[in-house]
Chain A
């Protein structure tokens, strides 16, 4: 437990490095819901190969590195209703808001974007209220 924050900081630096590289090399904002969503709703088909390359890297490098280095676990709920409704809400919400934790959170807050900061405040508040209700009042999570 005490070293979790160190891993958080190290991992966070790598995320920031990745976002920096994407901005300075390709001139793009590293927002995963946007990169992925553009492939889903066809709005990003004109530069599909760049999007697909990013997505492939995000999936493939942990797949290559993790068996060799450590065993990661997601501890995802086994309640399929929660998994499916959670996934659907994350998908529709991030596309409606035009960004998620990476685009609004990391890339938006780092340039003091009003939209990025507002989005982050609202998704964290909504998440905390939902989790509080589901875990401590209704005992579901």
Chain B
């Protein structure tokens, strides 16, 4: 139960952080991608603000035996860069530009995003459900 409560709190802080930072505003996200137009640097500040404490957390984790409420930390980061990583990231970037939302903000903005936000989430969940079959296709040597 304590793990669920920690998850709930982490999720809540995450949602507030996304909303405060402006990342639930598709105009700001599309502005970040608009390097050929009116470029909006806000997303860079959000990333720096998030990466600095997280780098510290990784440093602390490396000096702990196990997490406070768990038995083990995540394994070391993988180093294999395959077609699934590249193709998946390109498809994600494409969709990100079209609508200006990524998975976190799609959840955080659900209460104030109206019908459009719900439609985006529904389409995103459908995409997630379709991913395993695309992954299987890519894994086959002859496409």
Q: Report if A and B associate in a common complex.
A: yes
Residues of A within 8 A of B (CB): 4-30, 32-33, 36-37, 40-41, 49-51, 53-63, 65-66, 71-78, 80, 82-98, 100-102, 104-116, 118-120, 122-128, 130-132, 134-136, 141
Q: How far is the CA of A6 from the CA of B34 in the complex (A)?
A: 20
Q: Binding site of B, secondary structure by majority: helix, strand, loop or mixed?
A: helix
C-alpha gap A30/B33 in the complex (Å): 24
Q: What count of chain B residues pass the 8 Å CB interface test?
A: 117
User: Which residues does chain A contribute within 8 Å of B85, judged by CB atoms?
Assistant: 97-98, 115, 118-119, 122
Task: List 7 extra interface pairs beyond A7-B20, A94-B92, A105-B47, CB under 8 A.
Answer: A15-B49, A16-B49, A74-B101, A87-B124, A90-B103, A112-B77, A125-B93
| CB within 8 Å for A75 and B21 given contacts A12-B49, A115-B80, A124-B93 | no
Q: Could you count the A-B residue pairs with CB atoms below 8 Å apart for me: how many are there?
A: 483
Interface residues of B in 4-50 (CB under 8 A from A): 4-28, 30, 33-37, 40-50
Least CB separation from B64: chain A residue: A24
Decide if A62 touches B120 in the complex (CB within 8 Å): no
- In the docked arrangement, what's the CA distance between A51 and B107, Å? 13
The CA-CA distance from A26 to B57 in the complex, in Å, is: 12
**A75 CA to B109 CA, complexed, in Å:** 11
Residues of chain B contacted by A134 (CB below 8 angstroms): 97-98
Q: Establish whether residues B46 and A9, one from each chain, have CB atoms under 8 Å apart when the complex forms.
A: yes
Contact of B18 among A15, A55, A76, A126 (CB under 8 A): A15
Say yes or no: B119 contacts A84, CB within 8 Å.
yes
Shortest C-beta distance, A57 to chain B (Å), equals 3
CA distance A47 to B65 in the complex (A): 22
Question: Closest approach, in angstroms, between the C-beta of B138 and any C-beta of chain A?
Answer: 8
Taking CB as reference atom, which chain A residue is nearest B4? A53
Shortest C-beta distance, B115 to chain A (Å), equals: 9
Q: Are B109 and A62 within 8 A (Cβ)?
A: yes
Contacting residues, chain A, for B121 (C-beta < 8 A): 87
Question: Mind listing 11 A-B residue pairs with CB under 8 Å?
Answer: A5-B45, A13-B53, A19-B53, A20-B56, A25-B68, A54-B11, A65-B19, A88-B130, A93-B87, A93-B92, A115-B79
A125 (CB) vs chain B CBs: closest residue: B93
Across-interface contacts of A122 in B (CB, < 8 A): 85-86, 89-90, 93
Most buried by A among B24, B40, B89, B124: B89
